[in-house]
């Protein structure tokens, strides 16, 4: 019985193959067009060859994908899965001292489900409760590995900012208190206050940076000055000023997008991505001029006042204005079908197949600065690949297999066939535990059966 | 029933006292540090073990306990407790449940004022010491003592940096100071688990797990800086502005070691890394997923000691909500957590048990019995509540086993300790004898009456 249990767990763990060839598939490379009836060769975690005719290395594991499609692993630029103990440090308006990296939960089942939806990489963000939120991290969905092994090695870390209703909401003293606690008023309570909070924080960070720069200069001259106090909150903003940390900004309205561009220009940093950015189509030129990316929804809106003036053409219009656009999930469920979200931009806005697919692969890779590693099917890139049974930019496509670094992490056939055994195993254990807990005087817990 | 228990417990404390020399003779002696003595004598004089062995001369003035058919063990040590803090929550939860809003946190006593940010440190009372705060009249003292617990590593647990723990002997003294064996043994750190709102709805900073971690990290950065500034000023007070004295950082710097919570494998991994990052000697507490060989291996690799909670996880009471069924992982933990001791033993990890608020003798026995049933040898179970905790806290030179010169803390039982039918007959703490309270022991389930031929028998 114990063995069976172990076997059940092992089935979840990825199988590792040195060399894999996916054959007879329609390969949508994103950057180099679509190859009908082609092959991808994977070795040591990397793509080594893509084409109609490839050299098949001896001893390679062959995956016959006859009639199936291969796309690059999907990248979600905005997710909140895989965290332990809350994704908002909303008690303060500037919480740049907290870091998602500290709370990675590799056991979150949402990781496996995202994997089953073709996602291989996700940008895990702090929530939007405050003007300046916590530090963020890019993960690969290496289900079964420990927390540190999930981290996309070398990907530049980020930080979450938020504008509008969410960060100013907690400023309302009439608001609800969580857990029955008394509500409290937290500055800011207005959009003006949000801007001020961000400016103030950067003014502080600049002073902090100047102190450290002075200290470092003195130390370089051979002096022995007392180092300034290290402040985790300002340290992260100092990294933003130095260009070592990407800024991802939760926003909706056109006016606040322009406000944010002004603030960034004044303070001397770049916005890496505007997130949600439902009114981005109104200020697409300005976003493009700033050099920021935009990560939006295909057709999800009207869930609050500031999210009403939205259109399904947003992604396409911003793309046409020269913005690098991605489609994100912000949600563990939506995360599982980003492929069909991409497909919607072909209907609304006339994106080409490659343009549409790029919105969930290459473009988010660019936005996260990892497009040298992932985002398209090219020799030399990481072997993060998804095999679909049908045309992937549709609701009817089902993920068959997912590879990350050349390792199969999801296999639909295996998953489906193992399901019944897993359910039975669980029910058996549940029954056993129920039975044990009903026996009086068995020593489980306190007070049971007594007094 | 409750009232009767209370009265009996009261009687039990009154009973404890002189004479100052006690001898248990013709008993089986489990010394823990050495081989079991099949039939021997232990003499305790002036609070210390004066002699132990097969042929020991009993002093004339000794109060003699006839040990025929009985077993003597070293007094049990509860390796993480709040006993002595009359108002503290009994349980020092290592972490909340799996996912969702944190179930219990170790925040006890009055709620701290709401923090406005990381700079106010209302959740730090690092300078406080259990030794200064315990009350000799805490009713849990006679209760846990009745289970054979003679010693506790007791900690202030409010806030994040709760304060310095102390090793105390559970005597019913007049002054709390009499109880203190070692006043400062380490800093108890608790790490809450936030909900989705993460404090945005009314709590102070921090309100999320990552906030707690950032808070602790910042405190240690500040402590380092403070130490550096103080040293520089001390060296040349005329050269610089005087750094401000900070009792919170003084308390942090004075800590011999830190205790960090870790129940799940993920938490063990996380806290091992965190302890290494903070460069602090540390002990982890919780340990319910340490039954997993991978988790035990992580601890072994870091040479980390683990305090394992005896409050084993259970199925939620009542009908299980089909929409909120425990995960397979949670069920496995409920099923296998009591095997944590055996797994750690096998991996060669130093571990000790802690009662986690279980203060009924029968329940404590059963909790340890479950660890034994799950594969831990009886000897190793006893060690995990005697010599190993003493070693973990660096006090094995004075307690934890029956050896000449060590503190006279003994438990005399009929039957094997931790057996269902075992009876604790005498508890000797600092050489003072206590008769355990049987009323509290059975809790209506175990054998509630004493066996005939009970030594002393003079109550």
A231 interaction partners in chain B (CB closer than 8 Å): 218
State which residue of chain B sits closest to A133, comparing Cα positions.
B211
Chain B residue closest to A136 (CA)?
B210
CB under 8 Å to A202, separation ≥6 — which residues?
A: A237, A241, A263, A267, A269
Q: Where are the beta strands (DSSP E) in A213-337?
A: 246-251, 273-276, 293-296, 325-327
Q: What is the pLDDT of residue B318?
A: 80
A226 → closest Cβ in B232, B369, B445: B232
Are residues B386 and B302 both part of a single domain?
A: yes
* Across A251-255, B156-160, B221-225, B445-449, least confident range: B445-449
CB of A202 within 8 A of CB of A267?
yes
Q: B151 and B12 in one domain?
A: no
Chain A contacts in chain B segment 340-359 (CB below 8 A): 358
Q: A114 near A335, Cβ under 8 Å? A: yes
As for how many domains chain A has, the answer is 2
pLDDT band at B114 (very low <50, low <70, confident <90, very high): low
Q: Is the pLDDT of residue B13 over 80?
A: no
In this structure, the answer to whether residues B328 and B414 fall within a common structural domain is: no
- Of B100, B199, B221, B234, which to mutate for an interface test with A (greatest number of A Cβ within 10 Å)? B199
**Does the distance separating the beta carbons of B202 and A429 come in below 8 Å?**
no
pLDDT score recorded for residue A381? 98
First to last CA, chain A: 37
Q: Is residue A433 in some structural domain?
A: no
The residue among B85, B77, B145, B150 whose CA lies nearest residue B361 is: B145
**Domain assignment of residue B155, yes or no:** yes
Residue A80: which residues within 8 A CB-CB, separation 6 or more?
A87, A124, A125, A127, A330, A331, A332
Residue A10 touches partner B, C-beta closer than 8 Å:
no
- Give pLDDT, residue A71: 98
Whether residue A89 and residue B225 make contact (CB cut-off 8 A), yes or no, is no
On whether residue B244 sits in a domain, the answer given is: no
Is the pLDDT score of B30 beyond 50? Answer: yes
Q: What pairing do the DSSP bridges indicate for beta strands B161-169 and B149-154?
A: antiparallel
Question: Per the domain annotation, does B243 fall within a domain?
Answer: no
Structural domain span for residue B59: 1-74+400-459
Query: What's the mean pLDDT when you consider all of chain B?
Result: 85
Task: pLDDT band for B192, please (50, 70, 90 cuts).
Answer: confident
B114, B203 contact by CB (below 8 A)? yes
The whole-number pLDDT of residue B158 equals: 85
Answer whether A103 sits within 8 Å of B213, measured CB to CB. Answer: yes
B459 has a pLDDT exceeding 60: no
3-state DSSP assignment of residue A296 = strand
What was the pLDDT predicted at B116?
55
Quick one: B347 and B433 in the same domain? no
Q: What is the mean pLDDT of residues B337-357?
A: 97
Contacts B116 to A, Cβ<8 Å: 92
Range 187-226 of A in CB contact (< 8 A) with B: 226
Number of compact structural domains in chain B: 2
Contacts of A94 (CB under 8 A, 6+ apart): A130, A131, A132, A197, A201, A233
How far is Cα A39 from Cα A60, in angstroms, rounded to an integer? 13
Of the partner residues B101, B195, B367, the one whose CB lies closest to the CB of residue A443: B367
**Looking at the predicted structure, is the pLDDT value of residue B332 above 80?**
yes
- On whether residue A69 sits in a domain, the answer given is yes
Quick one: B388 and B427 in the same domain? no
Q: Of A129, A227, A233, which is closest to B198 when you measure between CB atoms?
A: A129
pLDDT at B111: 46
What is the per-residue pLDDT across B173-191, written as a single tens digit (0 to 9) for each? 889 999 999 999 999 998 8
A384 close contact with B: CB closer than 8 A: no
Q: What is the pLDDT of residue A47?
A: 98
Q: Is the domain of A69 the same as that of A203? A: no
A184 — contact with chain B (CB < 8 Å)? Answer: yes
Nearest CA to B304 out of B292, B295, B312 is that of B295
Contact residues, chain B, for A178 at CB < 8 Å: 195, 197, 199-203
B208–A129: do the CB atoms touch at under 8 Å?
no
Amino acid A9: pLDDT: 47
Domain-terminating residue out of B348, B381, B396: B396
Is the same domain home to A25 and A78? no
Based on the domain organization, do A36 and A112 belong to the same domain?
Answer: no
Report ipTM for this prediction. Answer: 0.92
Chain B contacts in chain A segment 58-117 (CB below 8 A): 83-92, 95, 97-100, 102-103, 105-107, 109
Cis status of the peptide bond prior to B206, with omega within 30 of 0: yes
Flag whether A439 is in a domain: no
The CATH number of the domain holding residue B448 is 2.30.40.10
Q: In this structure, what CATH number is given to the domain that contains residue A27?
A: 2.30.40.10
Give CA B327 to chain center in angstroms: 30
Alpha helices in B181-238 (DSSP H): 209-235
pLDDT at A438: 79
Residues 127-186 of B with CB under 8 A from A: none
The pLDDT of residue B93: 53
Q: Let me know whether A113 and A231 are in one domain.
A: yes
**A186 and B CB contact within 8 Å:** yes
User: What pLDDT sits at residue B117?
Assistant: 56
Contact A183 B214 (CB under 8 A): no
Highest mean pLDDT of the ranges A215-224, B112-121, B194-203: A215-224
- Last residue in a domain, options B371, B396, B421: B396
Examine residue B80 and state whether it is found in any structural domain, yes or no.
Answer: yes
Q: Are residues B97 and B175 in the same domain?
A: yes
pLDDT at B102 (0 to 100): 31
Higher pLDDT, A132 or B116: A132
Q: Is residue B236 part of a domain?
A: no
DSSP B436: -
Contacts of A103 in chain B (CB under 8 A): 208-210, 213, 270
Q: Is residue A451 part of a domain?
A: no
pLDDT value at B124 more than 90: no
pLDDT by residue (tens digit) across B282-328? 999 999 999 999 999 999 999 999 999 999 999 988 888 888 888 99
**Would you say residue B119 has pLDDT above 70?**
no
What pLDDT is attached to residue A399?
98
For residues A121 and A29, state if they share a domain. no
> Do B425 and B451 belong to one domain?
yes
Chain B residues with CB-CB distance to A230 below 8 A: 221, 225
**Which regions of chain A are under pLDDT 50?**
1-13, 175, 177-181, 442-451
Cβ <8 Å between B211 and A176 = no
Please give the pLDDT value at position A278: 98
Same domain for A154 and A48: no
Whether A425 is in a domain gets the answer no
Residue in A closest to B228 by C-alpha: A226
Spatial distance between the Cα atoms of B441 and B361, rounded to a whole number of angstroms = 5
Q: Mark which of A320, A353, A372 sits at the end of a domain.
A: A372
Q: What CATH code is carried by the domain that includes residue B343?
A: 3.20.20.140
Calculate how close chain B gets to A226, using CA atoms only, in Å: 7
- Across the range B359-384, mean pLDDT stands at 95
Residue A298's SS3 state is: coil
Query: Based on the domain organization, do B83 and B170 belong to the same domain?
Result: yes
In this structure, the answer to whether residues B142 and B258 fall within a common structural domain is yes
Taking an 8 Å cut-off on Cβ atoms, the answer to whether B204 and A85 are in contact is: no
The answer to whether the CB atoms of A450 and B445 lie below 8 A apart is yes
Residues B290 and B359 in one domain: yes
Spell out which residues of chain A touch residue B225, defining contact as CB-CB under 8 Å.
Answer: 227, 229-230
Instruction: Tell me what pLDDT residue B322 has.
Output: 82
Structural domain boundaries, residue A407 = 1-73+375-412
A267 with A241: CB under 8 angstroms? yes
Q: Are residues A117 and A193 in the same domain?
A: yes
- Could you tell me which chain B residue has the CA closest to the CA of A434? B315
pTM for the predicted model, two decimal places: 0.90
Q: What is the pLDDT of residues B388-444, one digit of tens each?
A: 999 999 999 999 999 999 999 999 999 999 888 889 999 999 999 999 876 544 333
pLDDT value for B450: 31
Decide if A234 touches B, using CB distance below 8 A.
Answer: no
Please indicate whether, in this complex, the C-beta atoms of B206 and A146 are within 8 angstroms of each other.
Answer: no
Structure tokens at A44: 């040591």
CA-nearest of B402, B377, B372, B376 to B387 is B402
pLDDT of residue A1: 43
What is the least distance, in Å, from the CA of B40 to any CA of chain A? 33
A432-A434-A440 Cα angle (round to 5): 110
Alpha helix segments (H runs only) across A251-393 = 254-267, 284-290, 314-320, 338-347, 353-358, 362-367
Domain boundary among B373, B396, B419: B396
Residue B46 C-alpha, separation from nearest chain A C-alpha, in angstroms: 37
For residues B431 and B299, membership in a common domain is answered with no
């Amino acid at each position: 019985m114990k063995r069976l249990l172990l076997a059940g767990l092992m089935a979840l763990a990825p199988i590792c193959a040195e060399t894999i060839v996916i054959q007879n598939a329609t390969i949508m490379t994103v950057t180099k067009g679509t190859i009908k009836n082609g092959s991808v060769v994977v070795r040591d975690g990397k793509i080594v060859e893509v084409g109609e005719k490839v050299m098949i290395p001896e001893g390679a594991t062959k995956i016959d994908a006859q009639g199936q499609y291969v796309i690059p692993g999907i990248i979600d630029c905005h997710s909140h899965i895989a965290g332990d103990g809350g994704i908002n440090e909303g008690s303060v308006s500037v919480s740049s001292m907290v870091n998602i990296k500290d709370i990675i939960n590799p056991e979150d089942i949402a990781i496996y489900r995202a994997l089953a939806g073709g996602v291989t990489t996700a940008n895990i963000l702090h929530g939007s409760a405050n003007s300046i939120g916590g530090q963020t991290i890019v993960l690969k969905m290496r289900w079964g590995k420990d927390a540190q092994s999930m981290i996309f090695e070398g990907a530049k870390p980020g930080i979450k900012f938020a504008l509008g209703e969410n960060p100013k909401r907690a400023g309302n003293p009439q608001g609800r208190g969580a857990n029955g606690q008394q509500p409290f008023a937290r500055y800011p309570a207005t959009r003006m206050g949000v801007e001020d909070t961000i400016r103030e924080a950067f003014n502080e960070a600049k002073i902090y940076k100047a102190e450290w720069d002075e200290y470092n200069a003195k130390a370089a001259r051979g002096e022995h000055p007392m180092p300034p106090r290290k402040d985790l909150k300002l340290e992260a903003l100092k990294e933003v000023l130095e260009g070592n940390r990407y800024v991802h900004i939760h926003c909706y309205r056109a006016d606040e997008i322009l406000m944010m561009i002004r603030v960034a220009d004044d303070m001397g940093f770049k916005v890496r991505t505007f997130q949600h950015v439902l009114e981005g189509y109104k200020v697409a030129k300005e976003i493009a001029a700033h050099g920021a990316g935009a990560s939006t929804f295909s057709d999800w809106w009207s869930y609050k006042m500031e999210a009403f003036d939205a259109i399904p053409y947003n992604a396409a219009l911003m793309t046409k204005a020269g913005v690098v656009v991605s489609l994100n999930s912000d949600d563990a469920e939506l995360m599982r079908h980003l492929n069909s979200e991409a497909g919607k931009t072909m209907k609304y806005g006339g994106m080409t197949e490659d343009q549409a697919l790029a919105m969930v692969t290459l473009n988010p890779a660019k936005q996260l600065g990892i497009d040298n590693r992932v985002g398209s099917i090219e020799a030399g890139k990481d072997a993060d690949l998804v095999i679909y049974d049908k045309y992937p930019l549709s609701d009817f496509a089902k993920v068959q297999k997912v590879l990350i670094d050349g390792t199969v992490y999801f296999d639909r056939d295996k998953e489906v066939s193992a399901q019944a055994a897993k359910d039975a195993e669980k029910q058996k254990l549940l029954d056993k535990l129920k039975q044990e807990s009903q026996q009086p005087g068995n020593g489980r817990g306190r007070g049971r059966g007594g007094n | 029933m409750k009232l009767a228990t209370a009265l009996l417990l009261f009687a039990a404390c009154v009973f404890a006292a002189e004479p100052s020399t006690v001898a248990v003779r013709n008993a089986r002696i489990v010394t823990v540090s050495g081989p079991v003595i099949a039939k021997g004598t232990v003499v305790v004089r002036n609070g210390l073990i004066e002699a132990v062995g097969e042929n020991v001369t009993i002093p004339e003035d000794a109060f003699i306990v006839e040990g025929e058919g009985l077993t003597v063990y070293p007094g049990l040590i509860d390796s993480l407790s709040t006993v002595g803090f009359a108002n503290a929550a009994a349980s020092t939860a290592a972490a909340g449940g799996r996912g969702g809003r944190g179930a219990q946190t170790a925040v006890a006593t009055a709620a701290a004022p709401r923090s406005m940010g990381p700079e106010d440190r209302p959740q730090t009372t690092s300078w406080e010491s259990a030794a200064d705060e315990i009350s000799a009249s805490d009713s849990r003292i006679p209760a846990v003592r009745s289970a054979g617990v003679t010693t506790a590593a007791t900690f202030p647990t409010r806030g994040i940096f709760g304060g310095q723990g102390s090793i105390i002997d559970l005597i019913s003294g007049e002054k709390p100071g009499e109880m203190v064996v070692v006043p400062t043994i380490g800093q108890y750190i608790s790490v809450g688990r936030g909900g989705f709102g993460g404090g945005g709805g009314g709590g102070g900073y921090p309100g999320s797990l990552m906030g707690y971690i950032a808070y602790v990290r910042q405190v240690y950065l500040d402590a380092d800086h403070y130490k550096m500034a103080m040293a520089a000023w001390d060296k040349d007070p005329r050269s610089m502005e005087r750094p401000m004295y900070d009792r919170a950082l003084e308390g942090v710097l004075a800590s011999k070691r830190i205790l960090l919570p870790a129940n799940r494998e993920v938490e063990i991994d996380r806290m091992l890394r965190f302890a290494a990052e903070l460069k602090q000697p540390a002990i982890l507490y919780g340990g319910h997923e340490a039954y997993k060989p991978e988790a035990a291996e992580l601890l072994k690799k870091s040479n980390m000691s683990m305090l394992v909670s005896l409050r084993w996880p259970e199925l939620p009471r009542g009908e299980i909500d089909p929409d909120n069924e425990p995960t397979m992982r949670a069920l496995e933990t409920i099923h296998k957590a009591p095997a944590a001791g055996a797994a750690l033993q096998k991996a060669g990890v130093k571990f000790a048990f802690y009662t986690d608020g279980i203060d009924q003798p029968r329940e404590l026995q059963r909790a340890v019995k479950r660890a034994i049933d799950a594969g831990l040898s009886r000897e190793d179970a006893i060690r995990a509540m005697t010599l190993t905790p003493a070693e973990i806290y660096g006090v094995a030179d004075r307690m934890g086993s029956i050896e000449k010169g060590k503190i006279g803390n003994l438990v005399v039982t009929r039957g094997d300790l931790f057996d269902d039918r075992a009876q604790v007959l005498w508890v000797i703490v600092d050489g003072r004898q206590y008769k355990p309270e049987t009323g509290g022991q059975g809790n209506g389930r175990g054998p509630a009456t004493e066996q005939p031929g009970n030594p002393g028998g003079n109550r």
